[in-house]
Amino acid sequence: MGAAQVRISDGFWDSYIELVRETVIPYQWEALNDRIADAEPSYAIRNFRIAAGLEEGEYGGMVFQDSDVAKWLEAVGYSLANHPDADLEQTADEVIDLIALAQQEDGYLNTYFTVKAPGERWTNLYEAHELYCAGHMIEAAVAYYAATGKRKLLDVMCRFADYIERVFGREPGKLRGYDGHQEIELALVKLHKATGEERYLELAKYFVDERGAEPNFFAEECRQSVGLSIWTKQKLPVPSAGQLAYLQAHRPVREQDTAVGHSVRAVYMYAAMADLAGLTGDASLLAACRRLWANTTKKQMYITGGIGSTHHGEAFTFDYDLPNDTIYAETCASIGLIFFAQRMLQLEAKSDYADVLERALYNNVIGSMSQDGKHYFYVNPLEVWPKASQINPGRHHVKAVRQKWFGCSCCPPNVARLLSSLNDYIYTASAADNMIHTHLFIGSEASFALAAGKVAFIQQSNLPWEGRVSIEITEAPNEAFTLALRIPSWSRGKAALTINGSRTEYKVENGYAVICRVWTAGDVVVWEPELTAQLTAAHPEIRANAGKAAIERGPLVYCLEEVDNGNRIPSLSILTGTELQSTYDTGLLGGAVTITVEGRADNRNSWQSDTPYRPIENNEQPTSVTLRAVPYYLWGNRQPGEMTVWIRTAAVGV
Amino acid sequence: MGAAQVRISDGFWDSYIELVRETVIPYQWEALNDRIADAEPSYAIRNFRIAAGLEEGEYGGMVFQDSDVAKWLEAVGYSLANHPDADLEQTADEVIDLIALAQQEDGYLNTYFTVKAPGERWTNLYEAHELYCAGHMIEAAVAYYAATGKRKLLDVMCRFADYIERVFGREPGKLRGYDGHQEIELALVKLHKATGEERYLELAKYFVDERGAEPNFFAEECRQSVGLSIWTKQKLPVPSAGQLAYLQAHRPVREQDTAVGHSVRAVYMYAAMADLAGLTGDASLLAACRRLWANTTKKQMYITGGIGSTHHGEAFTFDYDLPNDTIYAETCASIGLIFFAQRMLQLEAKSDYADVLERALYNNVIGSMSQDGKHYFYVNPLEVWPKASQINPGRHHVKAVRQKWFGCSCCPPNVARLLSSLNDYIYTASAADNMIHTHLFIGSEASFALAAGKVAFIQQSNLPWEGRVSIEITEAPNEAFTLALRIPSWSRGKAALTINGSRTEYKVENGYAVICRVWTAGDVVVWEPELTAQLTAAHPEIRANAGKAAIERGPLVYCLEEVDNGNRIPSLSILTGTELQSTYDTGLLGGAVTITVEGRADNRNSWQSDTPYRPIENNEQPTSVTLRAVPYYLWGNRQPGEMTVWIRTAAVGV
C-alpha cells in the first residue's frame, strides 16, 4: 500500500466531522466523566482513577467500560490528525498519563480486574472482555501516535501486548486461549504496522488461528471455572455449540462460511481475518473472508447496511431472515462491517466492497446519530410503530427516539472514531502498481506516494445530492499512473467520464473505471455516475419485504415518516411506474433532497371502530396521495412517529 | 334460565367429541400418570399420592399442577354425562378418593403446599395459584356431580370452599386478599348454582369486588413477604402498576375498560364478572363486561378468535397491535373467551357474542389440537416460517408442529373440557319468556322446560360445509313459544327461513330471527344462512394486515400452507374480484372444503442468490398461480411448512 495523506473538505461530511469534533468528542468526554444530567453514569474515567490509586471507590459500569475511554481517545487521535487542537490534546495527554498510572508492573492494564476482581485475570475470557479492552486501547495508542507522534500510550500498550504475548500461546506453560469478544486481533495488526514488530502480527495470527480449534478453549475454561458468571452470578455452564457460535468459536475460522452469532464480534473478526489474509497471503483465510463477506452482505444485510436480525444476543439469525420491525441492526455492527469492507478493499479493490461500505455509512451509521450529536440509536429499525415500541415487549429494544449516552455505550464512541477517521476510507493506493482507487465520493485533498512518484489531487463531490465528482490533479509524476473511479451500484453502470472537458470512454475493472495515463497538474477529471431516485425490490426470499419497494437515491435509502405522511404508515402504498420527484429542501434539517411520489392510502372513512374485520368489497377505493420520503439517516429528528423504509407497492391504474 | 338437556349428534362435531372421549381423555390420563414416552412428565397424580400419604417423594411440576387433574376430571364429568362409561367412571372415582385423601383436616386441598411448602399457605397469592387450583377442582366437582349424581368430590370441595370462606374476607382477622390467577370466581358461581348456597355466590362476589381495590393487596403482600419468589427464587419486589395489570389487579374491575395483562387471567375474570352481573343484576358490572367485551373482541382479537399479542407474559398489548408472526393467541385464552361469550349470551342474547364464540371455537380452539388428539399448539400463529421459529429467538415460542403434552399443560385438558361440554354452548333458553335461542348450528337433540311447558326438537346441521340447518319439533306445549335463530355475521344478513316447506319472513332481534308461534310436533324449520367463501379485510389500524385479505367461508377461516402452495408463501398474492372456488375434498384429513382462487406469485426466476436488492423494474411479471386454501383448523396436520392466514392482495389485471 502506498502512504496516503487525505484531508476531507466536503459539503456533506464536513458538518459531521465538525459535529464529532465540536460536540460529540466534548460531550462524550463529559459522559465518560459522569457529568451528563439524566444519563446513566459511565464511571469509565473514575475507574481509571481508582485503578491508578488517585481515588477511592468501587468499580462502576460494564466489565468492558475501559473500552469507552479507548474509543474516545482513538477518536481524539483521528480528530487531532485532521484538526490540531491544543486543549483537546492536553486533555488526552492527561488521560494517557492516567492510563499509564493504572498500568500494573507487569504491563497488565484493565481497571475491572485491577479494581474489582484482582487475582482473576484471564480466568474468564469467555465473558470478561479483557483482550477486547486491550485491543481498543491499542487502536487508540496507534491513532494517537500517528496524530501527535507522542509515544507514551503506544509504549504503554506495547508493554501490555508484550505481556499478553508472554501469557498466551501454544508453548508449554502458556494459556492456549483467546478472547470472548474479538477485537485484539485487528488491533495487533495495527500495532504491528505502527511499530514494525513482527511478533504483534504473529500474536494476532495466533488468536485468529486458535479460535474454534478443538478441544474448544471456552468449553474447557468453563468446565474448569471456579468463579461465577459475570452476568448471571451463577456457575458458568459449559457452552453449547450455539453458545460457541455466538462468539464465532464453534469451529475454526477457516471453516466458517455463514455469519452467525453476535454480529459485532463477527465483523470485527472478519476484519482481522482480512488483514491477516492480506499481510500473510494466506489463501484459505482469503477464501473464508470472501465466503463470509458474501453471506453477510448478500443474505443477511438490511438495505441500510444494518446487520443483526435479532436483539436476542444482538445476533445474526439465518439467510434472508430480515424482519424490519423486530430488527437489531446495531450501529456498532455496521461500523464493524465498514472495517471489514475497508480491509477487503485493501486486499482486492472490487466495487462491491465499497458499495456496501457506502451503504452502511450513509444510512445505518449516520442515521444512528441525532443531528445534535448527543443522541444515538443503538438499534436501527426499518419500520417503527412507536406505540408498539413502548407497549409490546417484543419491540421494547426498538426505540422511536434516539437516547442519550447508554449504560452500555459502545455505539456513540464507535461513531465518533469512524467519522473522525473517515479520510482513511475514501481511497486505497497501490504504490507498486501506480494505482489509486477512489471508493467514496467525498470531497478531499489527497496525496499518495507511488512508485512513479508523488501524486496529489483535489476531489470535489456533490454527493449524496448530485452525481457529480471532479478530481483535479495538483501534483503528478512524469510517469503514468492509474486512477480508478468506482462505478457505484446505484448508477446501474451508467457513469460519464470527462477528462479536461472531453467526454472519454473508459475501461472497467472490478467495478471501477480505470484510466491510466500520464497526468499533469491541472488535469481535471469529471466523474458523473447517474444519480436518480429509484425503487428497489428485495430478493423474494426476504419474506419481510414481499410486495414492497424501497426508495433509494444514490447512496441514500429513503423512508416515509409520520410527520410527513400522517400516521398509519402501513396503510400507504407507492405507485410503481410513476415518477419519483426529487427536490432539494433547504429547510429540512440542514438541507436534503426529499422525494415525492404518487401513492395510495387505504380508505378508512367507512370503517367503524367496532368492526375489526369485514368483507373486502366493503372497502372503498384507496385515496390518491402524494408520498413524501426523506433520507433514512434523517429519520426521527423532527417528531416521534411511525416510519418505514419498505413500502407496499401498487401498480398504476389500481 | 330454563333447564335444558342437549345431546350433540353432528357430522362435524361428533368426531371431535369422540376423539376427546376415546383418545384425549385416556391419553391425558396417561400423561397425568407420567406414562407418555418422550413427553415431559406431569407428576400431577403422583403429587396427589404423595399428599395423600400413599407414596413418598418430592412434589413435581408447576405450582399449579393440581389443576391438570381437575381439568381432566371436569372433562370426564362432561363426557360421562353424554356418554356413560363404567370403566372411566371407576377410574374417576378412584382419583376422587385420592383427592379426598389428600384433603387436609381443615378442608384445605393443594398438593404443592401440602407436600412442598407446608406452612406457607396463602402467603404468596400473587404467584402461587392456590385459589386457581381450588377453582378448577370445584368446576370438576360440579361437572362430576351433574353427570353422575355422586357427591363425594362436591362435598370435598364444599368443605374447601367453606374453609376458604373462613380465611378470606373483609371481616377482622380474615385475609383481605384474592388470587393471583382468576378462576375461583367463576367456579364459586358454579358451586352456588349446583348447591343453591348463597354464601358461595357471596364469596365469588367478594373476590371480584376486592380485586384492584386500594390499598392494593398484592403490593402489601409482596411488601410484607418474607419468602422468595416461586419463579425467580429472589425476594419478591413490590409489583409495579404494569405488573399489577398483568393480573388485572391494577384497578377495581368496574373501572377497567381495556383488556390488559395475561389474557387467560383476563377472560376468566370477565366470565365471572358476567356471571355475577347476571345473578346480581349489578348494572355497573354489566357495563364493565360490555366495555371489556368490546375492547377484547373488536380491537385485540385475531380473526381466528385468538387473543394475546405477545408471548411476554402471554398477554394483551394494545388496540390493533395484532402481529401475525410473533403472536401468542394461546389456546386457553380462546377457551376463556368462549366462557366469557357464553356468560354474555346468558345475560343478553346478542348475536355478536355467539359470532365471536363460534369464531374462536372453529378456528383457534380446534386448530390447536392435532387430528390424532395427542398433539397441541399452545400458541396459534397466523403466519409461520418454520425456519424462523427454529432459529430466530423472537419466534421460538411459535411452533410449526404441534407438541406432545407440555410441562405447563394447561391447554390440552382445557380443550378436552370445552369439547366434552360443547352441548352447553349451543342454546340458551328463557323459561319465563318462553324463548329458546339457537347460537350454534350443531346437530343435537334438545329439550327445554319453558313456562309454557316442555319443548323438544332435533337440530340437524350441515355446517361448517353448507349453510343449511333444520330444526324438527318433536314435542311442544299448546302455548306459543319463540324460536330465535342466530343470523351469523358470515351470512352478511342473508338467511332464508322455511317453515314446513314455506319460505317465511321473520323479525330480527339482536341479530336473531325470532319466530313466535304455537308449534306442534312435526313442524320443521329450515334455516339457511348464506355460506359462501369470501375475502375479508382487516381494520386499517391493524397494521400487520395492511394490504392483505383473509379467506373465510362460514365460520371457518382459511389459510395457505406450503404443502399446497410451495414455499415462500409471502411471495403469493390473491386476486381480489375473482371467484373463490369451493370444493369438498374427501381426501383431506377426514374431508373438508378447500378453496381455490387465482393468484400471483412473485417471479423469482431472474433473481441471483448474490443480489439481495435490485431495481424494481428488473422484476419480471408475476406468475399466475392457483392458490389452494385449507381451513385454518387443519393447518400443520400434513407436513411442516410455511403458513399464512393473511394474504397479500392484487387487483385483477395486474
Q: Which residues of chain B lie closer than 8 angstroms to A542, CB-CB?
A: 612
Whole-angstrom Cα distance, residue A404 to residue B298? Answer: 38
- Which residues pair with residue B436 across a beta bridge? B429, B483
Angle ∠(B389,B392,B398) on CA atoms, nearest 5: 30
Question: How far is residue A129's CA from residue A63's CA, in Å, rounded to a whole number?
Answer: 7
Q: In the predicted model, is pLDDT for residue A459 greater than 90?
A: yes
List chain A residues with CB under 8 Å of B579. Answer: none
Which residue in chain B is spatially nearest to A550 when comparing CA positions? B616
Q: Which grid coordinates are listed for B177? A: 386478599
For the question of residue A410 being annotated catalytic, the response is: yes
Q: What is the DSSP letter of A618?
A: G
Cβ-based neighbour number of residue B479 at 10 Å = 12
Classify A634 as helix, strand or coil: helix
Q: At what angle do helices A66-82 and A86-102 cross, to 10 degrees?
A: 150
Establish if B493 touches chain A: CB-CB under 8 angstroms: no
Domain match, B519 and B448 both: yes
Nearest to B141 by CA among B76, B228, B218: B76
More confident residue, B206 or B374: B206
Q: How far is CA B225 from CA B117, B177, B234, in A?
A: 15, 14, 11
Q: Is residue B2's pLDDT more than 50?
A: no
Tell me the average pLDDT across A372-391.
94
The rounded mean pLDDT for chain B is 95
Name the packing angle between helices B198-210 and B184-195 (round to 10°): 160
Over range B515-533, report the average pLDDT: 97
- Residue with grid cell 353424554, as numbered in its chain: B82
Q: DSSP assignment of A243-303, as one string?
A: HHHHTT-SS-GGG--S--SBHHHHHHHHHHHHHHHHHH--HHHHHHHHHHHHHHHHHSB-T
Q: Do both B538 and B507 map to the same domain?
A: no
Quick one: which of A155, A77, A320, A434 has its CA closest to B392?
A320
- Confidence band, pLDDT 50/70/90 cuts, at residue A406: low
pLDDT grade for B3, boundaries at 50, 70 and 90: low
Residue B433 shares a structural domain with residue B517: yes
User: Could you tell me the three cell numbers for B599?
Assistant: 393468484
- The residue among A366, A391, A424 that closes a domain is A424
Chain B residues with CB under 8 Å of A492 CB are: 615
Mutate which: B319, B539, B576, B623, vs A, most A CBs within 10 A: B539
Rounded-to-integer distance, Cα B294 and Cα B256, Å: 12
CA distances from B201 to B177, B189, B208, B270 (A): 17, 5, 11, 16
Pair B442, B507 in one domain: yes
pLDDT for res A577: 87
Contacts of B536 in chain A (CB under 8 A): 613-616
Instruction: Detail the DSSP E strand segments found in A64-143.
Output: none
B129 within a domain of the structure (yes/no):
no
The residue-averaged pLDDT of A330-342 equals: 97
Instruction: Check CB contact of A573 with chain B, cutoff 8 Å.
Output: yes
Domain boundary, last residue among A513, A529, A545: A529
Q: Does residue A449 share a domain with residue A416?
A: no
Contact call for residues A5 and A447 (beta carbons, < 8 A): yes
B589: left (phi over 0), alpha (psi -120 to 50) or beta: left
Cβ atoms within 10 A of the Cβ of A294, count?
16
pLDDT at A609: 87
pLDDT per position as a tens digit, B536-582:
999 999 999 999 999 999 999 999 999 999 988 999 999 998 999 99
Please report the number of interchain residue pairs, chain A to chain B, with beta-carbon separation below 8 angstroms.
Answer: 180
* C-alpha to C-alpha distance for A393 and B312, rounded to whole angstroms: 6
Look up the ipTM and state it.
0.94
**A534 to chain B, closest Cα gap in Å:** 7
One domain for residues A187 and A265: yes
Note the pLDDT of residue A509. 97
Local structure of A196: helix, strand or coil: coil
Q: Tell me, what amino acid is at B243?
A: Q
CATH number, domain of A480, equals 2.60.420.10
For A281-306, how does the pLDDT look when each residue is reduced to its tens digit (9 = 90+)? 999 999 999 999 999 999 999 999 99
Give chain A's radius of gyration (CA, Å). 25
Question: Domain end: A424, A453, A486, which one?
Answer: A424
Q: Is residue A232 a contact partner of residue A266, using CB atoms and an 8 Å limit?
A: no
Interface test with chain A among B391, B575, B654, by most A beta carbons within 10 Å? B391
DSSP string, A309-363: SBTTTTB--STT---SSS---BHHHHHHHHHHHHHHHHH---HHHHHHHHHIIII
Please state the domain count of chain A: 3
CA dihedral A632, A636, A640, A644 (to 10 degrees): 10
Per DSSP, the three-state class of A115 is helix
The CA–CA distances, whole Å, from A632 to A314, A396, A563 equal 22, 21, 14
The set of cell numbers assigned to B174 is: 380474615
Q: Any CB–CB contact under 8 A between B542 and chain A?
A: yes
Question: Is residue A245 a contact partner of residue B391, using CB atoms and an 8 Å limit?
Answer: no
Amino acid at B312: H
Q: What angle in degrees, to the nearest 10, is found between the helix axes of B283-299 and B331-347? A: 140
CB contact under 8 A, B537 and A318: no
**In B404-511, alpha helices (H):** 411-419
Is residue B1 very low, low, confident or very high in pLDDT (cuts 50, 70, 90)? very low
Q: Quick: pLDDT tens for A552-589.
A: 999 999 999 999 999 889 999 999 989 999 999 999 99
Q: Do A217 and A98 reside in the same domain of the chain?
A: yes
| Per-residue pLDDT tens digits for A120-147 | 999 999 999 999 999 999 999 999 999 9
Residues A24 and A60 in one domain: yes
DSSP state of B238: P
Given CB atoms, is B478 within the 8 Å cutoff of chain A? no
Q: Looking at chain B from residue 344 to 403, which residues have their Cβ under 8 Å from any Cβ of chain A?
A: 385, 387-388, 391-394
Closest-CA residue of B relative to A619 is B537
Q: What counts of helices (H) and strands (E) characterise chain A?
A: 21, 23
Residue B492 CA to residue B536 CA, distance in Å, equals 12
Contact criterion met (CB below 8 Å) for A520 and A481? no
- The pLDDT, as a whole number, for residue A614 is 96
Residue A652 pLDDT:
62
- Chain segment B457-474, per-residue pLDDT in tens: 999 999 999 999 999 999
- Give the active site residue among A221, A314, A358, A561: A314
Within-domain flag for B486: yes
In a domain, B456, yes or no: yes
Cβ atoms A176, A210 nearer than 8 A: yes
List the single range of A525-529, A534-538, A615-619, B562-566 with lowest mean pLDDT: A615-619
Which of A535, A549, A610 is opposite residue B294, by nearest beta carbon? A610
The most distant pair of C-alpha atoms in chain B lies apart, rounded to whole Å, by 80
pLDDT of residue A36: 86
Segment B145-166 mean pLDDT:
97
Residue B617 lies in a domain: yes
SS (HEC) of A559-596: EEEHHHHCCCHHHEEEEECCCCEEEEECCCCCCEEEEE
Lowest pLDDT segment from B161-175, B395-409, B547-561: B395-409
CB-based contact B408:B456 (threshold 8 Å) = no
Q: Is the pLDDT of residue B51 over 50?
A: yes
CA B267, CA B273: separation in Å to the nearest integer?
10
Identify whether residues B523 and B562 lie together within a single domain: no
On whether any CB of chain B is under 8 Å from the CB of A323, the answer is yes
Interface of A with B in 576-595 (CB under 8 A): 576
In the stretch 597-626 of chain A, residues with CB closer than 8 A to chain B read: 602-604, 607, 609-619
Residues B505, B572, single domain; the answer is: no
What domain range includes position A328? 4-424
Amino acid at site A558: Y
A654 pLDDT band, cuts 50/70/90, is very low
pLDDT in tens, A167-206: 999 999 999 999 999 999 999 999 999 999 999 999 999 9
pLDDT band at A67; cut points 50, 70, 90 = very high
Name the pLDDT band for B592 (thresholds 50, 70, 90). very high
How many angstroms separate the CA atoms of A433 and A429, rounded? 8
Q: Residues near B599 by Cβ (< 8 Å), separated by ≥ 6? A: B572, B573, B574, B575, B624, B625, B626, B627, B647, B650
**Dihedral angle, C-alpha A529, A531, A532, A536, nearest 10 °:** 90
CB-facing half-sphere around the CA of A452: CA atoms within 13 A: 21
Residue B136 grid cell: 378448577
Q: Do the Cβ atoms of A618 and B537 come within 8 Å?
A: yes
Q: Do A298 and B611 touch (CB under 8 A)?
A: yes
Identify whether residues A401 and A549 lie together within a single domain: no
A240 touching B (Cβ < 8 Å): no
The verdict on B474 and B519 lying in the same domain is: yes
A interface test, pick of B392, B396, B553, B556 with most A CB neighbours within 10 Å:
B392
**Res B38 pLDDT > 90:** no
Of A326, A607, A648, the CB nearest to B540: A607
Query: Max CA-CA distance within chain A?
Result: 80
